[in-house]
């Protein structure tokens, strides 16, 4: 891996570039992004040059797609005729099934490896990029038998930037993040939506730190999330149905002894999450 | 206000005592609590002596009930015959209607002032008590026309410990916290309950920081919350019905343009919460 092109120079793309640099990568890193993002990426030392997609595809041996899901789907269509043999295309999109399917249809066979770093923070853009964003965090890869290009060098670099690589199928990934990421996002949005519709001025006065936790995800970008949820619709809807059913169960257990068991089961799971070897 | 008795020496009771000391209160502070809590409270310098409820009632001019809601209801029954004229009884319970009603039935008239500090942290117990817990945070009082004892001295001390006092009816308080505190708690518990029931080992591997935010409240104490929810059942159930309806709305908007409006409304409310003059 000698020349990397990062398509979409935001928080994730910029952090990947900074992480490579910090880990000692001394090849060229191109950026394919809007002029202001390229300018900020140059200022941060994330990229050495802004290029267009055709030049990126011609010169890079790793193309790293770090856009929102719906934009990645469009970029893959454009990349199809541009990608030379031997070049590895990977992505950092939040869902995998739709992206892997699009890559199978549009890219030369065996050159795409789906990826998803489970890392992030509230701020957006390359200005907020952080060389340690991936360190100690899970990084899912969804390899399949058809891969023909070498992926070892890319995986080695993921290790050097501190990511905890986990391999699974795109289907398992999407079913899992529906529950661990997409349903939590919808719950936060539903809570903020519900409160925002009430006619009660005290709602923005009488609250504790818990409401801040529970509405933080509701600040997320609407367009990014529309793309994520649409690309994982069936899993998300099934997950929401399970949570709605749990909500009915708790609603009807208020004032009854069963409520204690429900709270204790939930607490046990929340504690399990906190005993894991990942940074949180 | 010269002698204070704190009933229930946990995070809130201990923090109130430490905050009074830090603000210059030099009267006696008694603790009414379990022997280990009293011992810890003495070690932290929160209380000067452990006493029983009868001695506390006989000697204090402020009785501060800092137990869980269901325990406060029991303490008020026991306090009824013990409270002398002129003594102010107040509480820090998470709901107010049931407590105010119980105080009206059991205590001498005009001596109870309901209260609820919207402050807290994850840790429990007087060991985690913090003299700055109330500083910059809302502190609801639910005064009513029947008050005969002087409350000015107590309110002055609330100001000195940095609490932002807001007065409202017990009904308004409970309707509000149902949405800002109790429904968020149930959402977090329902999420952790749902995930804990899945047969998918990856759920505790493939997740990002958002799941930590959304399951933090699920760590809360089951018995404390059983009492809170039971004492505010109708409001909580109505609030949950609204959120469930929002969840159905979002579920059915996945893949449709309406989803953007929903996310934007939610985000606007979440931003409003973050522009308020309270500490979060």
Model pLDDT, residue A47: 97
Q: How far is CA A5 from CA A1, A37, A165, B151, B194, in A?
A: 11, 14, 21, 68, 40
Q: Is residue B258 part of a domain?
A: yes
- Spatial neighbors of A181 by CB under 8 A, at least 6 apart, are A94, A118, B207, B208, B210, B211
Classify residue A280: in a domain, yes or no.
no
Give me chain A's average pLDDT, please: 96
> Are B77 and B103 spatial neighbours (Cβ–Cβ below 8 Å)?
no
Q: For residue A121, name the pLDDT band (cuts at 50, 70, 90).
A: confident
Dump pLDDT digits (tens) for B27-54.
Answer: 999 999 999 999 999 999 999 999 999 9
pLDDT in the model for residue B278: 61
The answer to whether the CB of A107 falls within 8 A of the CB of A79 is: yes
Q: What is the mean pLDDT of residues B132-155?
A: 95
Residue A80 pLDDT exceeds 60? yes
User: Which band of pLDDT confidence, cut at 50, 70 and 90, is reported for residue B161?
Assistant: very high
Which CATH number is A222's domain given? 1.10.3660.10
A42 in B contact zone (CB under 8 Å): no
Determine the longest span between alpha carbons in chain A, in angstroms.
66
B159 and B222 share one domain: no
Distance from CA of A55 to the nearest CA of B (A): 34
Q: B24 and B127 in one domain?
A: yes
Q: Are residues A193 and A146 in the same domain?
A: no
Write down the mean pLDDT value for chain B: 96
Instruction: Report if residue A140 sits inside a domain.
Output: yes
Helical (H) or strand (E) element with B262: helix B258-273
Alpha helices by DSSP H, B113-182: 152-160, 170-177
B228 located within any domain: yes
Count of C-beta atoms within a 10 Å radius of residue B10: 24
Phi (first) and psi of residue A66, to 5 degrees: -120, 40
For residue A144, what pLDDT is reported? 87
Q: Is A207 on the interface with B (CB under 8 A)?
A: yes
| pLDDT at position A98 | 98
Is A203 part of the contact surface with chain B (CB cutoff 8 Å)?
yes
Reported as a single tens digit per residue, the pLDDT across A221-273 is 999 999 999 999 999 999 999 999 999 999 999 999 999 999 999 999 999 99
Q: Does A275 touch chain B (CB under 8 A)?
A: no
- Kindly state whether A265 is in contact with chain B, defined as any CB-CB distance less than 8 angstroms: yes
**Average pLDDT of the segment spanning B202-231:** 95
Contact check, Cβ <8 Å, B180/A211: yes
For residue B113 the two structure tokens come to: 């002032």
Q: How many domains does chain A have?
A: 2
Query: In terms of DSSP H, where are the helices of chain A?
Result: 11-22, 35-43, 53-59, 69-79, 97-106, 152-160, 170-177, 183-197, 209-215, 222-230, 233-253, 258-274
Q: pLDDT tens digits for B225-277?
A: 999 999 999 999 999 999 999 999 999 999 999 999 999 999 999 999 998 76
CA distance A128 to B218: 30
pLDDT at residue B145, as a whole number: 84
Same domain, B146 and B257: no
Chain A contact set for B186 (CB, 8 A) = 247, 250-251
Interface of A with B in 87-106 (CB under 8 A): none
Mean predicted confidence (pLDDT) in A30-52: 97
Residues A103 and A205 in one domain: no
Q: Tens of pLDDT along A137-168?
A: 999 999 988 899 999 999 999 999 999 999 99
Helices (H) and strands (E) in chain A, counts: 12, 8
pLDDT at A198: 95
Domain membership flag for residue A126: yes
For residues A278 and A220, which has the higher predicted lDDT (pLDDT)? A220
pLDDT on residue B11: 96
Q: For B213, phi and psi rounded to 5 degrees?
A: -55, -50
We report the CATH number of the domain holding residue A139 as: 3.40.50.720
Stretch B179-188: mean pLDDT: 98
pLDDT more than 90, % of chain B: 94
- Residue A279 belongs to some domain of the structure: no
Q: How confident is the model at residue B124 (pLDDT cuts 50, 70, 90)?
A: confident
Mean pLDDT of A85-112: 97
Looking at the partner chain, which of B189, B195, B207 has a beta carbon nearest the beta carbon of A250? B189
Residue A106's nearest CA partner among A94, A118, A89 is A89
The reply to whether B86 and B139 lie within a common domain is yes
Residue A51 pLDDT? 98
The mean pLDDT of A8-37, rounded to a whole number, is: 97
pLDDT for B276 equals 77
A179–B200 C-beta distance less than 8 A: yes
Domain that residue B226 falls in = 173-273
Q: What is the pLDDT of residue B104?
A: 96
pLDDT tens column, B76-111: 999 999 999 999 999 999 999 999 999 999 999 999
Q: Is there a single domain that holds both residue B13 and residue B54? A: yes
Residues B83, B25: contact at Cβ < 8 Å?
no
> Contact, B121 vs B133, CB < 8 A?
yes
Task: Give the pLDDT score at A123.
Answer: 81
Q: Which of A123, A148, A168 is the last residue of a domain?
A: A168
Pairing of strands A62-65, B62-65: unpaired
Work out the pLDDT band at A93, boundaries 50, 70, 90.
very high
In A222-241, the residues whose Cβ lies within 8 Å of chain B are 222-223, 225-226, 229-230, 233, 236-237, 239-241
Whether residue B280 lies inside any domain: the answer is no
Decide if A19 contacts A157 (C-beta within 8 A). Answer: no
My answer on whether A259 and A146 are in the same domain is: no
Quick one: A205 and A160 in the same domain? no
Contact between residue B216 and residue A216 where contact means Cβ atoms under 8 Å apart? no
Once rounded to an integer, what is the mean pLDDT over residues A75-90? 97
Q: What pLDDT, on the 0 to 100 scale, is given for residue B134? A: 96
Percent helix / strand / coil, chain A, rounded to 5: 55, 10, 35
Question: What pLDDT is attached to residue A278?
Answer: 62
Residue A254, classified by CB atoms within 10 Å of its CB into exposed (0-12), middle (13-18) or buried (19+), is: buried
Q: Measuring CA to CA, which residue among B189, B183, B185 is closest to residue B238?
A: B183
B144: pLDDT confidence band, cut at 50, 70 and 90?
A: confident
Q: Which residues 109-168 of B are in CB contact (within 8 Å) with A?
A: 118-121, 137-138, 140, 166, 168
CA distance B89 to B5: 10
Q: Which residues of B touch A196 (CB under 8 A)?
A: 265-266, 268-269, 272
Q: Within this chain, do residues B133 and B211 fall inside the same structural domain, yes or no?
A: no
Q: Are residues A204 and A248 in the same domain?
A: yes
Q: Answer whether residue B280 shows pLDDT above 60.
A: no
Least confident of A189-193, B2-6, B146-150, B235-239: B146-150
- Among residues B52, B112, B49, B53, the alpha carbon closest in space to that of B82 is found at B53
Q: Is the same domain home to A45 and A58?
A: yes
Size of interface A-B (CB pairs under 8 A): 331
* CB spacing of B259 vs A202 below 8 angstroms: no
Q: Which of B168, B198, B217 is the last residue of a domain?
A: B168
Cα–Cα separations (whole angstroms), residue B220 to A210, B83, B215: 11, 33, 10
- Answer yes or no: do B266 and A119 touch at CB < 8 A: no
B192 domain residue, yes or no: yes
Percent of chain A with pLDDT over 90: 94
- Choose the final residue of a domain: A135, A168, A201: A168
pLDDT reading at B279 higher than 60: no
Beta-strand relationship, A164-167 and A138-142: parallel
Q: Hey, are the CB atoms on B212 and A120 less than 8 Å from each other?
A: no
């Amino acid at each position: 891996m000698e020349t990397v092109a990062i398509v979409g120079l935001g928080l994730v793309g910029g952090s990947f570039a900074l992480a490579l640099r910090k880990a000692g990568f001394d090849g060229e890193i191109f950026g394919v992004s809007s002029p202001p993002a390229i300018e900020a990426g140059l200022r941060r030392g994330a990229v050495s040059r802004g290029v267009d997609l055709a030049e990126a595809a011609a010169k890079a041996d790793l193309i790293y797609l770090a856009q929102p899901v719906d934009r990645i789907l469009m970029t893959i269509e454009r990349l199809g005729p541009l990608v030379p043999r031997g070049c590895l295309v990977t992505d950092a999109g939040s869902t995998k099934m739709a992206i892997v399917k699009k890559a199978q249809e549009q890219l030369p066979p065996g050159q795409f490896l789906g990826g998803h770093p489970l890392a992030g923070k509230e701020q957006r853009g390359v200005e907020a990029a952080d060389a340690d964003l991936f360190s100690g965090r899970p990084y899912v890869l969804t390899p399949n038998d058809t891969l023909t290009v070498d992926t070892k060098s890319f995986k080695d670099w993921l290790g050097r930037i501190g990511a905890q690589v986990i391999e699974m199928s795109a289907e398992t990934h999407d079913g899992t993040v529906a529950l661990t990421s997409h349903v939590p996002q919808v719950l936060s949005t539903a809570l903020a939506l519900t409160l925002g519709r009430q006619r009660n001025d005290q709602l923005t006065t009488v609250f504790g730190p818990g409401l801040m936790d529970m509405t933080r995800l509701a600040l997320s970008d609407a367009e990014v999330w529309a793309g994520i949820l649409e690309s994982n619709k069936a899993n998300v809807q099934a997950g929401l149905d399970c949570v709605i059913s749990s909500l009915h169960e708790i609603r009807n257990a208020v004032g009854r002894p069963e409520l204690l068991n429900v709270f204790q089961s939930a607490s046990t799971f929340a504690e399990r999450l906190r005993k894991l070897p990942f940074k949180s």
